[in-house]
Structures are given as structure tokens and as C-alpha cells.
Structure 1
Amino acid sequence: MAEDALKDWKIARTGISLLLNNKTEEAEALFIEHPHSFHVKAGRCFVLFMNALMTFEEDKFQQATLLLKDMERECAGDIGWLKSVKSKVFRAEETDKDYVNKLERQIVLADTQVFSAVSLFLQQELTGYVRGCWMLRKAWRVYQHAYNQISQLYRRTFGTNPTGFSPSCINPSNGSSLQSPQSPESSEWSIPSCNGYTNNVTPMSSPSGLRSSLSMFFSLTGITSEQQTPFVEPAEVTRLMSAASFGYGVYQLCVSLLPPSVLKVIHFFGFEGNRQSGLTALMYARLGEDMRAPLATLSLLWYHTIVRPFFALDGSNVKAGVAAAKQLVAECHAEFQNSALFLFFTGRMERLERNVDAALEAFGKAVEVATQREVKLLCLHEVAWCHVIRFSYDEAYRSLLQLQQQSRWSKGFYAYLAMVCCGANGKFDVLLSLYGKILPWFHETKNESQLDVFIMRRLPKIVDKETGHPYTVLYYKLLVYEALYLWNALPSCSTESLREISYECKENHSEEPMVGLTDLIEGAAYLYLEDTEAAIKSFRNCLKCRYPSKDEYDQHVSAFALYELGSSLSNNNNLNEGKNFLSKAQTQYKDYDFETRLNLRIHAALKNV
């Protein structure tokens, strides 16, 4: 391969490594020196999307979306149908550089669709889900097509199939026959194959009639599509396979984590996700030399330390992914030992293992060395949660107030959590002062996300509507415990803290903010104390006190109790009754707090029954 192209991807890889090692200025200087490099632009695009994903800030997502669209246009233009026609007419000889660049652009084209789809899914809106599914469908086809070309090249070069990554093993769902990228209706882009054939665009941009006429013209004039595939260096073949596996792995994880209601749309489009295939692809990608290798490692760390515990993919065992995450960090220690992001994931691992002091130390060090505002806020977010987990309400309040002032992501959430921490600490004057300051701002909230709806439903519970006075300390503690439970942070509490929670819940049911909340929290505490019988009893009591006359409001309490009871019974060798309660949790309630998250947990639990 030509030296300049080889240099470009290495420059992008170096720039990403500098960014991850807190050397933002050096990375920017390196990127600025190569403003027209495709690889550098793609690398910057990936990093910007990661920053948006970390902070959830709307302006970051808008910036990333614009850059993704620019990359899509550039890739689609470079590998388009018209360009392929020109090469046939003028018989342009394809060099190894042209060939590799064409494959690279196919991969980045699919990557942009996956990242754009993730942005849409995070909005948690129906129209966003449908658009995101369509983008994933397009990405799937391009990945499959690119992989087929690269795997042929790999077999020709090495005489064997690549190990550890095989997208072709993922078959369409429903027994449907997916159109190949060669069919006229298959994609919105035209994708030339390795031998010069062109995969068609939509009829809008290139009518199939015109394409057929041109094909006949080429045949009559003796212009053929066949071209000899140029020789590509073995190291470059391996890098291309690694590049293809990164986005494909993210794609597979993304699809496998969609809520059941969206999976129906996915199946309608004719494809599905395979989580294990996604993890295998990312493991392959992280071992390569491509610029995406460190991003593949970060994706795996994100999955094992955030996704798995947050969505309870392993039930109540939040430590299930820690061993894999530790191995990933250990293998990257030489290159990223002082990286703020890797310190962040180290803190996450410590928190999941209930080593909250060690987690605070890791997060604190990450804040000190971080040069990017996004990373600092990400770590401060975790610091605040660690203080809440330890019931250190003063420290939690200070951290949450700082986040409420500095973060552009859900200021209302940080304000709400800060207020209930004040109440749990008995500082009612501070609570009322903060409540008065932010109440007008709350009324301007647009209720666009599930989190916004959650906050607006909690706002009337902060103070007594009739008297304007605060409630009791235990009342606010229960709201803190509810937040810990809903964010699946209760398992990170110490044994002593869990016993304290169960004791407070058992002693007083008269001050609960929502009917049945005390029993739900008590049952969860018993569950993490490994007293399954006591947990089952509490969950049954929760449902008993809510049915049938008090189940109109705060229905998330009933839905989560059904899920917990069903999961506990299933794990306690009572499969039929457990499955019955899980099915009720899935179908009996709608539009409650964190419905999407719970449905993911129910779906995972039912698959294991």
C-alpha cells in the first residue's frame, strides 16, 4: 500500500491515543496538520461521538450528528455508482491504494449509520426508534458486503478464514430473505464490489432502467466489469478486517440491547442482533493495529461496567462483567495507565465490587488528570453517586449541586437528587431554599425523555402541597433508596448499609412517598443480602398492599415488584409461578417510570427461564 495512506491511519491512531492519554492539545495539533486526511477526519468523528455518548449533552450530539452526516456524504460520494461507471468507461486502473480506500470508505459509511442510530435510540422516541432501525438495516448490509470482500482478500492472502469474527454467521430473522446489497432496493448508496460490479442505489438517485441500459451498452461495446484485484500487503488486510469488526461489533451490541417493542420493528426489517457476536467482533478489533482498536476496548469496558449492571443483564449479579473488564484494563496498562477514561472504568469496577473508597480514589485521580470537560463531568457524576451510595449526604449534595451548575445534561435530575439528599440529612431549610429557586425552571421542562417525566412526577412529592412544609427524614431517605434502586446502585451498598435500609423499611411503613415503595425497597435489600425468602415475602407484601384499590398511581412500584418477584421465584426453582409474574410485569402496565429499562430486564429474565 502507498506510504501516505499508511501514514494517515497511523496518524489517526496516534491522535486517538493522545486524546485518551489526556493530551488534548497535542492531539488537536496533530489533527490540524492533516485537515484533508480521510482517516484523521473519521478518527475525530468517532472521538466526538464518544464524547457525546459520555455526557448525553444535546449540543454534543448535534455536533456529532453533523459530522457523521458529512462523513456519510463523503463516503457515499467516493464509492458511488457514477464513479464506478466512470472507471468502467475510461478503464481506470485500480491501484492497491484505491482498492483499500474503497473498502475503508464502505466500513466508515456503515459506521456512521450505526452511530447515528445510537443517537436516535437514546432519544427514546418512537419515530427515533423507527429511523434508527432503518439506519441499522442499511449498516448491516454494508458491513456484510464489506466483510465478504475483505474475507475473500484474507483467504487469498493467508489461505484461511479470519478467526474470531464472522458476521456472515448471523442470519436474518423470521426466516425472511434479506436482499443482498446487489439488489436495486437494498440501499440508499451504490457500493462497488471488489471486482468492479456496482451495488445499486435507490431508484430515486439512479433508476434501475438507466442502470440496465448502461449495462447493456457496456456489454455491446465490450466494456466489462471484471478487474483484477490489486495486491494488498498482508498487514493491511489484517487491519481492514479489524476495522470492519469494530463497527459491526458495536452494531450487534446496539441491536441486542434494544427494548422488546423495538425488536418487533427490527424483525420486520428482517434482521436481528447477536450480543455474543458483537463481543467477539470487538475483541477481534481491539487486538488489531487499526485506529479503532482503543475505541473497541473502550466499547467493551462500557458494556461490562455500565451496560451489564445498569440493565441487569445478569440479574442481581452486578459484578458479572468485572473480571472481563479488569483483564481489558490490565492488557492496556502499558499504553493507557494514566488515561482519565481508563481510570474512570477502574472506578466503575471498584464500585461494582463495593469498594467505594477505592472507586472514589480512582474517580478523583481521573478528574485531576483529565483535560476534557466531558471526562471531568463523567467522573464527577460517579463521585456524586458514590457519596449517595455511602449515605454521605453532605458530600453528595455538594457534588450534585456542582453538576447541576456545570453539566448541560438533565440539570433537573441533579437538582432533584440534591434535594432528597438534603431531606435525608435533615437539612430542610436548604431543601426548601433549593426547591424555591429551581421550581420555576422545573415548570419549563418539556418532558421529552423518560428521565424528564420521572422528575416531573417526583416534583409534587418534594414538599407537602397543602402546607408547603417538608416531610420527615425517613420519607426522603426512601426517595434516595428509590433512586439507588432504579439506577441499580443498591448492589454497590455495603452489607451494613443494606441492613440499615431493611431495618428502616421494616420499622415504618406510614411515611412512604408511594404506596408499596417501602416493601419494594426492603425486598431489594434482602435480595442483595442473599435472603431470597425474605425478599419474596416483601415483594408479595408490596403487591398485596397495592392491589386493587391503590394501583392507579406510581405504577412502576407494582411493575418492578412483579419483575423482582418473578425473577426471585424463577431463581428459587419455582419456574412456572416466576414466569407468570414476569409475564404480568411485561403486559399489565404501560407508561410508568423507566418502562423501557424494566422491559429489557424482563426480556432478559424470560429468556433465561
Structure 2
Amino acid sequence: MSLIENGADTMDAENSFEDAVDHILMEPQMDLQSALEECITSLNLFLNNKFSEALAILEPRAKTSMYHAMGHSSILVMQAGMTFDPQDIQIAMDSLKDALQTCQRFRKNNGFFETLTSLIYKQTDNLTEEEMHAEICFAECLLQKAALTFLEDESMIGFLKSGIKIRTSFQIFKECYLMAKTAQHLPGNSDTFKHFVGGVNMGIGSFNLMLSLLPAKVLRLLEFIGFSGNRDLGLSQLREGAASHTLRAILSALTLLMYHTYVTVILGTAESNLDEAEALLEPYIEKFPNGSLIIFYVARIAVLKGYFEKQQWLEAYRYADLLCKESKWSQAIYVFQKAAILSMLAEEEVKKTGENVVELFRQVDSLMLKFAGKSIPTEKFVVRKARRYNSSTPVPLVVPALEMMYVWNDPSEYHSDDKGLVQLLKGLCLKHLGRLTQAELCFTQVISSEKRIKFDHYLVPFSMYELGLIYKLQGDTSKAISVIENAKMNYKNYSMESRLHFRIHAALHSLKESESIITP
């Protein structure tokens, strides 16, 4: 027997042995309906804070079932996103790699000719239902991997890798959307097909909603490479998904909750719909009354409605301290937050905690992170504010002690900045109380003090933006557009600039839309 023949026989034997071992170790394949039912059970456990039990259901079949693979990796990704711990990120990344391989085995395996053809003609009408589910699961895992790739590798290479994965995920969701529209009205659609449609609702809805929030210049660039963002389509898809009784209904609901309770608040457009947010939460409050995720959003809505106990600074400090110790998301922001809360307490109360406020503020600068070579705008902001404490004679910040502002009679080099900040905050309070004329005076006063402001240059463009919203509420749309565009075009290189540009984009979109309705 030749060496080659002997080698071939040996390889065949090894392959046969490996196949036999795989056959013994691998769980028998589960049908789609049963897999979905087990994943729903796991999701219910997760929402009831039973995280280990949820993972225990999914882990045994994570390499043989696309839904078990996706569910298992999704829980680990959420854990990594909450802790930012490098070890958690690596565990989640490994799980996602396995999940993508599992999902890939269920996807349609096109030959070379079919692959070339699909570049010109989308071959989406000849997939089995299982292959359709594999596409949606693959797209979700790919999107999660893109997010983790960005966290894991902060270089420009990591950024580009993430972008490619996100684009691929978006393209798959778009193809799945076409499949759902084509097959939705056909007779005999199974219960499992509804779960596929729910995945389409969540994916297409989230992409369209979030992309629509980007400034027009950025969105035009993204549209050139295949992205698109339609806010109305995004909201309608998410609402449809949240109303369905499918595996991903909670994900659509959570995306809408994030939009109503955070995104619209950050954008400052007053377009948040807290009634819808409460309606979305209601069934989950009944089903998971102690679920941490559900309680979190109940609390968030209560804060936005003003239903919270005020000035419980020691309790606030306790939770701020926990965040500093247990979350690596942004140590700079957490330490600044803890120091700011402690600044609200009397000196003797601070001593009881064993903390040193000045030293905490001084730590902030060294804790700043960078992603893709860029600093986080919020972190840059707190670092700049905390620098007051770097000198041998620290100048206390005004924000943590607003109640003391009006009794200060000792102007420092920060006096004009502090005065401008108080006027901005006072104007916001007056606006929400409906006292628009008084609010207008506050914002105008900040703008008029532009030349006296030395450090917090963001105050003027932010005040212009808020003044524009006042004019909008007063019904003067053209004046509102003029002031807000002034803030956009004539001010650069100030703290939180990108955040204000997001707000400006949303405000101008709303104003120009209302102007076109008024002017036939």
C-alpha cells in the first residue's frame, strides 16, 4: 500500500471517528416550533431575573439549534453591554462566533452560479421557512457581533469591521422584509412564520428609526452605501412587532421604550409619548412584576413624569457608588456623578461616607475612555467640568449645588459661566411650567452674555436651540427655524456639539414638516 493510500485511509478513519463522536455528543435536531417554545420559556426566565436558569435551557442546544444559539449569545451580549468587563465581552464574542456558525448551517447554501446570480437578482423567493428563520437569526447575531467588535477593538480597523457587519445585517433584514411582504398573505402560513415576521418588524423598525435620527448630511452618506432611515416606517414596524405574540415582541417594545424615554429626551424635541410607553409596559408589569428590566423602565417613566422622592442624596450616593464598583461602562461619568451627588451633602455627612469629593473630581480626567480613537462627548464634558478641582484652590461646581447659587456673592473667573448655566436651567424649568415669555428672557440673557463666557461655550448654542423651541411653542415657526439654524451653522468646537446637532436635526425636521402643512 502506498504512503498516499495509507494516509488517505488514516484520514478516512479519523474523519469517521470524529463523525461518530459528533453523532454521539450532538443533541438530536429540534423542530422549529419546539425550539421557539423553549426560547420563549428561557426569555420568560430572563425577564424574571433568573439568568442562570435561562442560560441553562439554551446552552445544551446552542450548537444545534439556531434559536438556542441566538438566545444564548444574546443574553451574554446583554451582560457584556451592562458590565463592559473585558472577560464578559470575550465570552459573548466567542458565543456569537459559535451562534453565527450554527445559524449558517441552516441558511440556503447557494452554489457558485446561484451566488453570482443573486448579486443581480435577489433569490429570496425559494427559501424554505427554516432557511428564512436562519436568515433573520444570522442578521441579529451579526448585528450584535458588530457592536461587540467595536467595543473590543477601538481602532479604525475595528470601526470599519463593525460597519461592514452592520451593513450586511441591514441588507439581510431588508431581504427578509421583502420575503415577509411576499409570503404574508399566502394561505397556510404557520404559527412559526409569525415569529419570522416579528423578527422582521424588530430589525427593520430599529434600523429605520435609529437611522432617521441621524443628521441629514450623515444620512445622505449612509444612503449612498445602502442604508435608509424612515422614522414613520420604523415606528410602525416596531409597534406591529410589539403588538404581536411572538418571541421578539418584547425586543420591539423595549426599543420603543428606549426611544420614548431616552432618545426623544436626549434630542429634546418633546416628542416622547409616555402614554404609549406605559401601555407597552403594562402587560409585562403584570407578568414580570419583579423583573429588573421592567422595573427599570417603570422608574424611568416615573422620573420623566416627576413622580420621585427629591433630595434623597445619601440613597443616590449609595447607587452611584455601586455603579462605580460594578460597571465599567464609563468610570469617568460614574465617578463624576458620585462626586456631584456628594457635593449636595453637608461636609459632616460626606465625612461619614469616607469619601473625598475633591479627590473624586480629580480622578475623572484619568478615567476617560476612547472608542475608535475618539473620546465620548459626555466624558469630555465631565472631564472639563471636573478640571476646576485640579488647582490647589478648587472652585466648586455650580450644578451640584443649584440651591446655593443665588446666595453666592463672591464672583470667580467662572462667574459668567455659572450665571449662564443657571439661566439656561431656569429657562428650561419655566418652559416646562408653561411660562414661555419668562423662559425666553432667560435664554436671551445667556445668548447676550456670549463674550463674557470663558469656558462653557456650549451654553450659547444650547440656549439658541432652546429659544427656537420656545418660538415653536409660541407658533412662530419661521423664527424658530432661523434661531436653530443659527446655532447649527455659526458655532463649532464646543462641549456636547454632536449631541446638540442630533437635537437640531430632529427639531428642524419637525419644524419644516409642520411648516409644509401650514403653507399649502
Task: Please report the TM-score for the alignment, with normalisation by the length of structure 2.
Answer: 0.77
- After superposing the two structures, state which structure 1 stretch, 527-536 or 294-303, moved more: 294-303
The answer to whether residue 129 in structure 2 is matched with residue 100 in structure 1 is yes
Q: 1:127 to 1:535 in 2, by over 3 A?
A: farther
Cα 1:539–1:60 shift into 2, 3 Å: farther
Matched with 2:393 is 469
Show the counterpart of 1:436.
359
Mapped contact 2:108–2:131 kept (Cα < 8 A): no
Q: Aligned equivalents of 2:215 and 2:105: distance in 1?
A: 34
Give 1:57-96 correspondences, 5 Å limit: 60-61=88-89, 63-76=91-104, 78-79=106-107, 81-82=109-110
Q: 1:350 aligns with which of 299, 302, 308?
A: 302
Q: Measure, in 2, the Cα distance between the counterparts of 1:273 and 1:340.
A: 31
The amino acid that maps onto 2:388 is: K
Q: Which residue of 12, 35, 47 maps to 2:62?
A: 35
Q: Which residue of 1 aligns with 2:459?
A: 557
Deviation at 1:156, TM superposition (A): 2.3
Query: 2:181 is matched with which residue: 151, 165, 169?
Result: 151
Q: Is the 8 A contact 1:520 1:561 kept in 2?
A: yes
1:66–1:56 distance in 2 versus 1, CA, 3 Å: same
Percent sequence identity over aligned pairs? 23
Residue 479 of structure 1 deviates from its aligned partner by 4.6
Measure the CA separation in 1 of the matches of 2:158 and 2:483.
Answer: 31
Asked whether the equivalents of residues 36 and 67 of structure 2 are also in contact (C-alpha less than 8 Å), the reply is: yes
Equivalent position SS for 1:332: helix
Written as runs of structure 1 = structure 2, the 5 A alignment for 1:51-62 is 51-54=79-82, 60-61=88-89
From 200, 206, 213, the counterpart of 1:257: 213
Contact 2:103 2:134 in 1 (8 A): yes
- Count of residue pairs the alignment pairs up: 461
Structure 1 residue 10, shift from structure 2 partner: 1.2
Q: Would you say the 8 A contact 2:361–2:386 is kept in 1?
A: no
2:496 maps to what in 1?
Answer: 594
1:440 shift after superposition = 5.6
Distance between the aligned counterparts of 1:600 and 1:281, measured in 2? 23
Q: Quick one: which of 265, 279, 284 aligns to 1:332?
A: 284
d(CA) in 2 for partners of 1:51, 1:115:
12
Is 1:4 equivalent to 2:31 in the alignment?
Answer: yes
1:457 is displaced (CA, Å) by 0.9
Give the superposition deviation at 1:41: 0.9
Q: Structure 1 residue 101: deviation in Å?
A: 1.9
Q: Residues 566-585 of structure 1 correspond to what in structure 2 (within 5 A)?
A: 566-585=468-487
- Out of 521, 535, 546, the residue aligned to residue 450 of structure 2 is 546
Q: CA deviation at 1:506?
A: 9.4
Match status 1:604 vs 2:479: no
Deviates more, 1:286-295 or 1:14-23: 286-295
Q: 2:319 aligns with which of 383, 399, 403?
A: 399
Q: In 2, distance between residues paired with 1:117 and 1:262? A: 19
Shift of 1:328: 1.4
- Paired residues for 1:227-306 under 5 Å: 234-306=190-262
SS in 1 for 2:382: helix
Could you tell me how far 1:523 is from its partner in structure 2?
Answer: 1.6
Deviation string, structure 1 residues 219-272 (Cα, Å, up to 9, x no partner):
xxxxxxxxxxxxxx5323323222222222222222123344532321322432
Q: For the Cα contact (< 8 Å) 1:568–1:578, is it kept in 2?
A: yes
Given that residues 343 and 400 in structure 2 are in contact (C-alpha distance below 8 angstroms), is that contact kept between their aligned partners in structure 1? Answer: no
Find 1:18's aligned residue among 15, 39, 45. Answer: 45
Checking the alignment, whether the CA contact within 8 Å between 1:118 and 1:254 is kept in structure 2 is no
Q: Is the 8 A contact 1:245 1:282 kept in 2?
A: yes
In structure 1, the residue corresponding to 2:311 is in which secondary structure?
Answer: coil
Q: CA deviation at 1:605?
A: 1.1
1:139 deviates by 2.9
RMSD value, Cα: 3.5
- Pair 140,443 (structure 1): closer, same or farther in 2 beyond 3 Å: closer
SS in 1 for 2:256: helix
From 423, 429, 434, the counterpart of 2:343: 423
Structure 1 residue identity aligned to 2:283: E
Instruction: Provide the rounded CA distance (Å) in 2 between the counterparts of 1:598 and 1:43.
Output: 36
Q: Is the 8 A contact 1:58 1:409 kept in 2?
A: no
Greater Cα shift, 406-415 or 430-439? 430-439
Query: Quick check: 328-337 or 407-416, which moved more?
Result: 328-337
Residue deviations 1:281-304 (CA, integer Å, cap 9, x gap)? 222223434322222222222222
2:76 to 37, 48, 51: 48
Change (3 A) 1:341 1:293: same
457, 470, 477: which one pairs with 2:384? 457
Return the alpha-carbon distance in structure 2 between the equivalents of residues 84 and 13 of structure 1: 37
C-alpha contact 2:339 2:361 (8 A) present in aligned 1: no
1:62-90 deviations in whole A, cap 9, x for unaligned?
A: 54455444434544464365458799xxx
Gaps of at least 5 residues in structure 2 are 1-28, 116-125, 512-520
In 1, are the aligned partners of 2:416 and 2:453 still within 8 Å (CA)?
no
Q: Partner letter of residue 12 of structure 1?
A: C
For 1:253 and 1:28, how far apart are their aligned partners in 2?
30
Q: Aligned pair 1:111/2:140, yes or no?
A: yes
Q: Structure 1 125/32 Cα, relative in aligned 2: closer, same or farther at 3 Å?
A: closer
- What CA distance in whole angstroms lies between the structure 2 residues aligned with 1:259 and 1:62? 33
Indicate how the Cα distance of structure 1 residues 153 and 411 shifts in structure 2: closer, same or farther if over 3 A, else same. same
Tell me whether 1:528 sits opposite 2:432 in the alignment: yes
CA distance in 2, matches of 1:286, 1:560: 35
The structural deviation recorded for 1:127 is 7.7
1:506–1:522 CA contact under 8 A, matched in 2: no
The alpha-carbon distance between structure 1 residues 98 and 538, as it changes in their structure 2 partners (threshold 3 A), is closer
1:130–1:152 CA distance, 2 compared to 1 (3 A): same
Q: How big is the shift at 1:276?
A: 2.5
Residue range with higher mean Cα deviation, 246-255 or 440-449: 440-449
Work out the CA distance in 2 between the residues paired with 1:32 and 1:565.
54
Amino acid at match of 2:366: H
CA contact (8 A) 2:195 2:247 kept: no
Shift of 1:4: 2.4
Return the structure number with greater helix share. 2
Per-residue deviation, 1:505: 5.1
SS at match of 2:187: helix
Change (3 A) 1:98 1:529: closer
Report the CA distance between 1:15 and its aligned residue.
0.6
Closer, same or farther: CA 56–305 of 1 in aligned 2, 3 Å: farther
Residues 59 and 72 of structure 2 are in contact (CA less than 8 Å); yes or no, is this contact kept in structure 1?
Answer: no
8 Å contact from structure 2 (residues 72, 95) kept in 1: no
Greater CA drift, 567-576 or 420-429: 420-429
- Report the more deviating stretch, 305-314 or 9-18: 305-314
Q: Partner of 1:187 in structure 2? A: none
Structure 1 CA distance for aligned equivalents of residues 289 and 249 of structure 2: 16
Cα distance in 1, alignment partners of residues 410 and 501 from structure 2: 28
Secondary structure, in 3 states, of the residue corresponding to 1:567?
A: helix
Range with bigger deviation, 116-125 or 448-457: 116-125
